[in-house]
Amino acid sequence: MNAGTNDKIMRDTVTQSLQRDARVNADRIGISAKDGTIVLSGHVPSYSDRWCAVQAAERVYGVRAVADEIEVKLGVSSVRDDSDIAEDISQALKSNSAIPVGVTTEVSNGHVTLRGEVLCTSQQTDAQRAIRYIEGVHDVSNMITVKPRPPEADDHTERVSDAIDSMADLDARSVWVSTSNEGAQLHGDASLVR
């Protein structure tokens, strides 16, 4: 099979995926495919519709990348002031206990930028998920940085010591642990309990 045939099959499969997803109105979405890359274009009435279309395309086996060129064109009844959108976003973030207080947002013409630092990627994803369905949002840029808290050296020492103490066949009374950024070192004499 040549590349052109594979691209056509991929485009048709993505089209079917979009049509099967009840959250997506595929009528106004254009799809092109080239070497496993899908380009989605056209327009949808909300950011959540756009997000759902991208997800439907990404689910297709063989899709390596999705270029999202879908434009959000809000209906007249969905157009809102940025201040109203920002207020709804603030409430959504506050009501989700998984999102740290330090996450902030900027709203400009319906475009939302998320900023701040979180401890894990799930918190970063939760912040974007919390605002996905807010009416009036055109686009979201997730600029949240994931910065895991470095474990304390004493925490490592305690955990390694506890692990040694829990070994039933080892007399750990004469073993002590020291830790640093490079790792853990065991010192002393270890003898097996008979």
pLDDT of residue 62: 92
Segment 37-78, tens digit of pLDDT: 999 999 999 899 999 999 999 999 999 999 999 999 887 777
CATH architecture of 3-72: 2-Layer Sandwich (3.30)
Domain ranges of the chain: 3-72, 79-146, 153-192
Hey, which residues does 37 pair with through a beta bridge? 34, 65
- Amino acid letter for position 179: T
Q: Give residue 185's pLDDT band: very low, low, confident or very high (50, 70, 90).
A: confident
Helix axes 82-94 and 121-131, enclosed angle (nearest 10): 130
Both structure tokens of 98 = 């998984």
79-146 has the same fold as 3-72: yes
| pLDDT tens-digit map of 117-148 | 998 888 999 999 999 889 999 889 999 999 88
CA-nearest of 88, 69, 74 to 130 is 88
For 2-38, the pLDDT digits (tens) are 666 799 999 999 999 999 999 888 889 999 999 999 9
DSSP of the chain: --HHHHHHHHHHHHHHHHHH-TT--GGGEEEEEETTEEEEEEEESSHHHHHHHHHHHHTSTT--EEEE-PEE---GGG---HHHHHHHHHHHHHT-TTS-TT-EEEEETTEEEEE-EESSHHHHHHHHHHHTT-TT--EEEE-PEE-PPPPPHHHHHHHHHHHHHT-TTEEGGGEEEEEETTEEEEEE--EE--
Cα first-last separation, the chain:
68
Taking only the tens place, the pLDDT of each residue in 75-134 is 777 778 999 999 999 999 999 888 888 899 999 999 999 999 998 888 999 999 999 889
How buried is residue 157: exposed, middle or buried, by Cβ count under 10 Å (0-12/13-18/19+)? middle
Contact status, residue 47 vs residue 76, Cβ threshold 8 Å: no
Q: Please give the model's pTM, rounded to 2 decimal places.
A: 0.65
CATH classification code of 79-146: 3.30.1340.30
